Structure 1
Amino acid sequence: MFKGLTLLLLLISSTVQAEPWPGEQWPTGAIITNTEALENYAFPPRDDTTRKGVRTDALLIIRDGQIIYERYAGPTNAQTPHLTWSISKTLMATVLGVAYGEGLFKLEDPAAKFYPPLAKHPDIKLADLLHWASGLDWQEDYEYAPLKSSVVAMLYTRGHRDMAAFTANHDSYAPPGQAFRYSSGDSNLLAAALKNIVGPQRYADYPWTALFEPLGIRHAVWETDATGTFVASSYAYLTARDLARVGLLMARDGRWNERQLLPKDWLAFNLKPFAGYKAHQDEAVPGGQWWLNRAADGAASPWPDAPADTFAALGHWGQAMYVIPSEKLLIVRYGDDRDGSYRHNELLKRVMQAVRP
């Protein structure tokens, strides 16, 4: 009996030890060589005078915890903390997941409990903000419509000093939790709520102590507004390799080595499609500040050439991190795409062709 138990424990131990994890550096696996079609799409000749077309700054592919492809372009290299734009939203959701695991809040808590300026909207729950479903009348327009854009005003003009207060001052257009409307303001309300969730003394260091340091991320930069609140909508900077650590955490069900950093029910919430979403062509389905390759509302899956379990963190100008658990793959792609020509499915299709025998 004891010999059998000892053998079982040795087998379990060897299995755990065989699972690759990055230390100071990522381990390297068998480098893929079937990359011509992938590189033709991701790295076409680059014209910095017009900034047109697909303009990849970084492409990193990791399989089962090991780097199998890595290339950089433009001014970016492996040591460059790259602006992630709206991947910052997903990073804030991941930081909140650690706080959730500490028992500091519940998804059904009123957001005003932790951010009192939302008292005029008492029915907004933290879960609603995570679903981009606050019901606030927000216009997420960018360069093509700056005069009516809520996000441009928040980041650059009348709202930039206190972005959460600017957002909270918006009127409602729908009851909270019923309709999806993508909103950088909702994400910045979460960043303001985190200040009271963890307490002002912990707040300034919390993304580092809660997430970055346990994952071995050493060079993250996260800007704040004038109130000291993290700009969760837009202004986190990480190297491609460091962002991939967050992807590996998610790919392995919130576990980092032997520590369960994110509760499994938090991941289940992140990766469950929001019920109030109405499908749009080629648009990924929102979860809890993540994007899902799921069929919804009668529409086909948005990335048909990628596995159905693919999920992603996405940002302006082509920033993307894709996690594909069924293939043990994660892909970080940084870009500088100004004309909207980049297509998620096209890159994913060519990655899958490159990594499959």
Structure 2
Amino acid sequence: MFKGLPLFLLLLLSVTAQAENWPTEEWSQRPTPTSTALQALEDYAFAPRDDTTRQGIRTDALLVIRDGQLIYERYAGPTTAQTPHLTWSISKSLMATVLGVAFGEDLFKLDEPVAQFYPPLARHPTITMADLLHWASGLDWQEDYEYAPLKSSVVAMLYTRGHDDMAQFTANHSSYSAPGQAFRYSSGDSNLLSAALKSRLGAARYADYPWTALFEPLGIRSAVWESDATGTFVASSYAYMTARDLARVGLLMARGGRWGERQLLPKAWVDFNLQPFEHFQAGQDAVVPGGHWWLNRSADPRLKPWPDAPPDTFAALGHWGQALYVIPSANLVIVRYADDRDGSYDHDQLLKRALAAFSGTVQP
């Protein structure tokens, strides 16, 4: 019936006829493809481990979404599809996504000095929202963990003298660099973003904002987000979510901030998230910082943290192996929850195996 139509119209009809898959209350599912490549992925992700020593890789959950449909899911240990798992620093990217909705409401601008609406930063008057999102506040912060607790800013913030008011604790640090000129990964920067959002919204609206702005529109039901004693969400560390719900955030980002017919995040915000920070230098971290997301590309084409994954791969990453990988060119979203303690887990190895197992053409 399309005889005689121009080729470009035929192509347009073909594209529009292929309806996008979006999750409703549940993800639509396709059978898991079986292959030697899938076995290789499982052998890596779910290798036997002696939990008495906590040595080796321990995957708690591995979930794969392709073209908006759930095609693979496996859990281990006490974790199930209904378990809101601690995401650790994936919380940072979740806060960036919540902030994207606020950005779309014109509640702040990227170049706006945070001290204008968060007074504890008055001694650092030129730090902007973009600086915090790039982990480039210039504050003298030590992101050491349990391996060096005595000099760790983040351990002090989360567990000792800073835990009542984490943003204030961060704001009290001195500077080591001009804002925006140097990357230094900082959980404190993330909690300053959370406090800045609270100042912009007011405490009453802020208390529900992650849910009303992001989680409810995406159909996320499992989210739990701890706050400090001031009622400020611990954006650095303490969001919990099921693997299936976290994958919804990945699909939102994979599709440029759009959820169904609604542009939930402004395109300019997603573009900012996925733009490499210009002052990042090789060796400063294992991956490349964007706007509170981690990228597989940089301004230096020689720097590709995960060589077996496409350059458009990006991720939200957390302590002990938590990961939300988004690979737009392969139509893949991958969630991994874990309890890796010895540093043996390798992102590139999992991505290489996942791409081999799942990046084939989707069957009708």
TM-score, structure 2 normalization: 0.93
* Equivalent pairs, count: 350
> Which of the numbers 79, 88, 102 marks the counterpart of 1:85?
88
Q: Which moved more, 1:333-342 or 1:16-25?
A: 16-25
Partner of 1:133: 136
Paired residue for 2:342, among 336, 339, 352?
339
Q: Which whole-Å deviations, capped at 9, do the CAs of 1:56-87 have from their partners, x for residues lacking one?
A: 00000110000111100011000000000000
Deviation at residue 46 of structure 1 after TM alignment: 2.8
Aligned partners of 2:282 and 2:303 also within 8 Å: no
Residue 151 of structure 2 is aligned with which of 148, 155, 179? 148
SS of 1:59's partner is strand
Q: Quote the offset at 1:296 in angstroms.
A: 4.4
Q: Does 1:162 align with 2:162?
A: no
**1:343-354, aligned counterparts within 5 Å?**
343-354=346-357
Pairwise CA distance, 1:281: 7.9
Separation in 1 of the partners of 2:64 and 2:168?
39
Contact 1:114/1:196, CA 8 A, preserved across alignment? yes
Aligned equivalent of 2:209: 206
**Are 2:269 and 1:266 equivalent residues in the alignment?**
yes
The correspondence of residues 1-357 of structure 1 with structure 2, limited to 5 A, is 15=16, 18-34=19-35, 35-280=38-283, 283-297=286-300, 299-357=302-360
| Deviation sequence 1:313-335 (CA, Å, 0-9, x none) | 00000000000000100100010
Secondary structure of 2:173's partner? coil
Cα gap change, 1:157/1:103 in structure 2, threshold over 3 Å: closer, same or farther? same
Q: Kindly state the Cα deviation for residue 279 of structure 1 after the two structures are TM-superposed.
A: 1.2
Distance apart, 1:261 and its partner CA: 0.1
| d(CA) in 1 for partners of 2:221, 2:359 | 33
- Computed over aligned residues only, the root mean square deviation of the Cα atoms, in angstroms, reads 1.7
CA distance in 1, matches of 2:222, 2:206: 18
Q: Is residue 278–residue 296 contact of structure 1 (8 Å, CA) maintained in 2?
A: no
- Distance in 1 (CA, whole Å) between partners of 2:68 and 2:122 is 45
The one-letter amino acid paired with 1:319 is Q
- Kindly state the Cα deviation for residue 355 of structure 1 after the two structures are TM-superposed: 1.7
- Classify 1:282/1:212 alpha carbon distance in 2 versus 1 (closer, same or farther; 3 Å): same
Q: Give the whole-Å Cα distance in 1 for the aligned partners of 2:174 and 2:166.
A: 15
* 2:167–2:192 CA contact under 8 A, matched in 1: yes
Q: Is the 8 A contact 2:226 2:239 kept in 1?
A: yes
Secondary structure in 1 matching 2:111: coil
2:287 is aligned with what amino acid?
A
CA contact (8 A) 2:287 2:294 kept: yes
Q: Deviations over 1:279-316 (max 9, x none)?
A: 12871100000000014446430100001100000000
Shifted more, 282-291 versus 218-227: the winner is 282-291
Structure 2: which amino acid aligns with 1:20? N
What is the identity percentage for the equivalent residue pairs of Structure 1 and Structure 2? Answer: 77
> What is the distance in 2 between the residues matched to 1:16 and 1:26?
21
Whether contact under 8 Å (1:322, 1:331) holds in the other structure is yes
CA distance in 2, matches of 1:13, 1:237: 40
Which runs of 5 or more residues in structure 1 are unaligned? Answer: none
SS at match of 1:70: strand
In 2, the alpha carbon distance for the partners of 1:212 and 1:251 equals 16
Moved over 6 A (4+): 11-14
